[in-house]
Structure 1
Amino acid sequence: MSVRVLIVDDSATIRSLLKAELSRDPEIEVVGVAGDPFEAREAIKALSPDVITLDVEMPKMTGLEFLEKIMRLRPMPVVMVSTLTQAGAAITLEALEIGAVDCVGKPDFDGLAEKVKMAARARVRPLVQRTALRVDHAPYRPSDKVLAIGSSTGGVEALITMLSVFPENCPPTLVTQHMPATFTSSFAARLDRTCKPHVEEARDGAPLRTGCIYIAPGGATHLRVAGGTQRVCRLDESDLVNGHRPSVDVLFTSVAQEIGARAVGVILTGMGKDGALGLKAMREAGARTLGQDESTCVVYGMPRAAFEIGAVERQAPLGSLGRAALDLCSVEMRGAA
C-alpha cells in the first residue's frame, strides 16, 4: 500500500515542489495539501494521512505550535521542512525534541521520499511533559573508560533523555547522530545548556576529557577516536559508510581498535543497520555494549540489527540507559556488598 501524505506549507511554490518530488515515488500518494495549520487540521480529519510534511514557519500558527498540538491530541508521523540556516536548525531541533520523526531542508529536499516512507513506519507516542529522572543509584566514580553512542531517527529526544542524567564528571563521551551539517553545532549548544557536562561539536585533535561530550559534526566528516593513552578526536573526509557521514560504524570501529575493553558502546533508535558491525567489533574487543529496547525506540532498526548479530550485550528501555552506561563506565567498588 502507498504511504498517504499531507503537505502543509504556506508557500504555494513549495507545496507544488514537494508534491512533485513525492509523486515521483510510486510508493507515495499525496492525498492533500494545506496552506496553514487550520486548513491542515480539517484535512487531517477528512483524509487521515499516514504522514504529514510540515513547514516550520507559517502564518496564524507556527509549525512548532501545530506540531505540539498534533503530538498531544492526535500523534502521527511528521517530517519537518526547514530552511537550512542556524536559526532554522535551532527551530527544527525543537521540533525533533517535541516529536517530529525527521527533518528535510529547503530547497533541495534531500532524501525526502525515503524520510517520508521511514516516518510511516515510526512508532509515534503522545507528547508528555518531560520530567527530571530520579536517580537512586550510587554516584558515578570516574575511571579511564570512554563511552561511545550512536543514534539516528528519534535520536535527538533519546540523547537528551539519556544525557540528562550524566553528572559533571561523566566519562569522555563521543556521539555520532545522523544529522545534517547545519544542525550539529546547534544541537551541541542545546545539550550544553541543558546537561551538566560540557558538550561541544567535536574538533579534530580535541583531547578526550572527563566531563566532556563530543558530538560528531554532520555532513562532511566521520568522527573517530585515536591516540591510545593520549586519546583525541579525529575527523576525516572519507567516503560515506552505510549511506552516512558521519557513520556510527566508523566511530564504533575506531573505539574497538584504539580503546578495546576500556570502552562502553550504546546504540540508540534509528533506521537501518549503521553501527551494528562496529558495536560487534567493540564487544569482541572486550567492551561492554548496550542497546535501546524496541518498546522505547521511535524506529527499532539500528538496535535490532546490532542485537540480531550479537553485538548487544543487554537491551534496556531509554529511561534507564543513561544510568546503565554510567554504571559500566564507573570505577568498580572493591569489596562492596
Structure 2
Amino acid sequence: MQNAPLRRVQVMIVDDSAVVRQALTEVLNADPGIEVLCAVADPLLAMERMKTKWPQVIVLDVEMPRMDGLTFLRKIMAERPTPVVICSTLTEAGAATTLEALAAGAVSIVTKPKLGLRRFIEDASADLASAVKAASHANVNRLRVAHRTEPQQQPGVAPPKFTADAILAPSGPKAMQQTTERIIAIGTSTGGTQALEQVLTCLPRVSPGIAIVQHMPEKFTAAFASRLNNLCQIEVREAKHGERLLPGLALIAPGGKHMMLKRSGAYYYMEVIDGPLVNRHRPSVDVLFRSAAKCAGPNVLGVIMTGMGDDGARGLKEMRDAGASTIAQDEASCVVFGMPKEAIRMGGAQRVQSLGELPRSILDFGAGKRIEGK
C-alpha cells in the first residue's frame, strides 16, 4: 500500500518587485510541503487569479502600486478570511504599516532588507517556510476585524536550536521566596499581537507589572509598544536595560534582544542582553520564564499564549516547579495552538483558559489570589 501524497500548502505571492517574487518562489517551492500557485505584481492581478484558484496562504508586500497591501488585506479579511504573511521592509516606516496589517488580520511578519535581497531571502528560507506553514494552521476566525534578527547561515539550513541554558543556568532547588510585589510574565508568538491587545486593553491602571516576550523583529517592537500604549489604560513600552518593572506598566522585550527578569531587594527590573537564538528566537520566551522562575518563584504568574512551536513550554514548567502560578491559553481562542499545547503536554500549565478569561486572572493574581488548577 502506497503512502498518501504529501499535501502541500498552496501559496500566492503578491509583491511589486520581480526580484522578490522570483526569490520567494524559488525558496518556497524548494520546501516539499509548499507549492507556489502564482506570484503576481499587485493586488488587482491577485484578485483576478483568485477567481479561479484561492490560495491557502498569501505572502503579501504592503507597499505596492494600484492598490496597497493593507487595503487588499482588509478586503480579503472582510470577504473570505485567509492566512496572510506580511513581507515587510525592515524600517521604522515599514514597521508602522506592518502593525496596521497585523491589527487588520495578518498572521505574522517576515522582513526583507533594501540591499542584498536575494542572499537574505535565501539565507532566511527556513524562516520563510516556517512562517508559511504556521500561517496555514492559523485559526483565521480568531483574527479580529490576528522574527527576529537572525545571524547569517547556510541557505535552507535552520540555525541551531539552543535552549535557555545558552543564556542562564536553571533554577536551584529553592526559588526566591515570595514578597509583597506580584508580577506577570507573558510569552506569545503567532497571533500574539492581537491577543495581547485584547488582554492589555482590559486592564485598569492599577494592575501588576507585566513583562512580555512577543516574537517580533527589531524595529517592530517599539512601534508595537507605542500602539498598545495609545490603546491601553496601563503604560506599555519597549523595555530598556535596567528598567524597573512597576505596577501599571507592561514592558515588551526589544526585537533582536533577550529579556530577563532580575531582582534587587524587593524590586524587580529588566535585563536586556544580546545572546544566541534560543529555540531559534531572540527574544525567547524560555529565557524570560526561566529568569522569572529563578528570581520571583511564587510571586509571579506565567502566561503562555498563541504561537507556533514550543518556545516557553519548558520555561513555564520551570516556573511551575519553582512555585509560580501558570496559565496556558486554550485552543479555541488561539490563532495557533502550538506553544500552549506544548506547555500543557509538559505539565507546565496549572490552568487552561480562554483569551477572554486572562485579564481577570491577571488582576486576581495581582490582588493576592492563587491560580488554582481546574
Taking structure 2 as the reference length, the TM-score comes to 0.82
1:123 aligns with 2:160: no
Structure 2 CA distance for partners of 1:172 and 1:122, relative to 1, 3 Å: same
One of 209, 212, 219 as aligned partner of 1:172? 209
Kindly indicate whether the alpha-carbon contact (under 8 Å) linking 1:216 and 1:246 is maintained by their aligned counterparts in 2.
yes
Residue 362 of structure 2 corresponds to: 325
One of 197, 208, 213 as aligned partner of 2:245? 208
Cα distance, 1:127 vs. partner? 5.8
State how far apart, in whole Å, the 1-side matches of 2:209 and 2:346 are.
Answer: 27
Residue 227 of structure 1 corresponds to: 263
Kindly indicate whether the alpha-carbon contact (under 8 Å) linking 2:261 and 2:269 is maintained by their aligned counterparts in 1.
yes
Residue 133 of structure 1 corresponds to: none
Matches within 5 A, 1:1-337: 1-106=7-112, 107=117, 108-109=120-121, 110=124, 111-125=127-141, 129=145, 144-219=181-256, 221-228=257-264, 229-331=266-368
Deviation per CA, 1:117-169: give whole Å up to 9, x if none. Answer: 22112111176559xxxxxxxxxxxx610100000000000000010111112
Cα distance, 1:75 vs. partner? 0.8
Deviation per CA, 1:268-321: give whole Å up to 9, x if none. Answer: 000111111111111112111111110111110000000111111111111221
Kindly indicate whether the alpha-carbon contact (under 8 Å) linking 2:61 and 2:88 is maintained by their aligned counterparts in 1.
yes
Kindly indicate whether the alpha-carbon contact (under 8 Å) linking 1:23 and 1:29 is maintained by their aligned counterparts in 2.
yes
Size of the alignment, in residue pairs? 320
Structure 2 CA distance for partners of 1:234 and 1:167, relative to 1, 3 Å: same
Q: Secondary structure at the match of 1:29?
A: strand
State how far apart, in whole Å, the 2-side matches of 1:128 and 1:289 are.
Answer: 26
Give the AA of the match of 1:12.
A
State how far apart, in whole Å, the 1-side matches of 2:143 and 2:262 are.
Answer: 40
Cα distance, 1:238 vs. partner? 2.3
State how far apart, in whole Å, the 1-side matches of 2:145 and 2:337 are.
Answer: 23
Structure 2 CA distance for partners of 1:77 and 1:332, relative to 1, 3 Å: closer
Kindly indicate whether the alpha-carbon contact (under 8 Å) linking 1:118 and 1:271 is maintained by their aligned counterparts in 2.
yes
State how far apart, in whole Å, the 1-side matches of 2:338 and 2:16 are.
Answer: 34
Give the AA of the match of 2:334.
C
Q: Secondary structure at the match of 2:52?
A: helix
Structure 2 CA distance for partners of 1:197 and 1:222, relative to 1, 3 Å: same
Cα distance, 1:331 vs. partner? 3.6
State how far apart, in whole Å, the 2-side matches of 1:150 and 1:115 are.
Answer: 18
Deviation per CA, 1:188-216: give whole Å up to 9, x if none. Answer: 11111111111111111111111111000
- What RMSD over aligned residues (CA atoms) do the two structures have, in Å? 1.7
Q: In structure 1, list runs of 5 or more residues that go unmatched.
A: 131-142
Kindly indicate whether the alpha-carbon contact (under 8 Å) linking 2:74 and 2:104 is maintained by their aligned counterparts in 1.
yes
State how far apart, in whole Å, the 1-side matches of 2:18 and 2:79 are.
Answer: 27
Return 108-117 or 152-161, whichever deviates more: 108-117
Structure 1 stretches of at least 4 aligned residues deviating more than 4 Å after TM superposition: 126-130
Cα distance, 1:52 vs. partner? 0.7
Q: Secondary structure at the match of 2:32?
A: coil
Q: Secondary structure at the match of 2:225?
A: helix
Residue 164 of structure 2 corresponds to: none
Q: Secondary structure at the match of 2:51?
A: helix
Residue 153 of structure 2 corresponds to: none
Structure 2 CA distance for partners of 1:253 and 1:126, relative to 1, 3 Å: closer
State how far apart, in whole Å, the 2-side matches of 1:241 and 1:208 are.
Answer: 23
State how far apart, in whole Å, the 1-side matches of 2:342 and 2:363 are.
Answer: 24
Q: Secondary structure at the match of 2:267?
A: coil
State the identity as a percent. Answer: 49
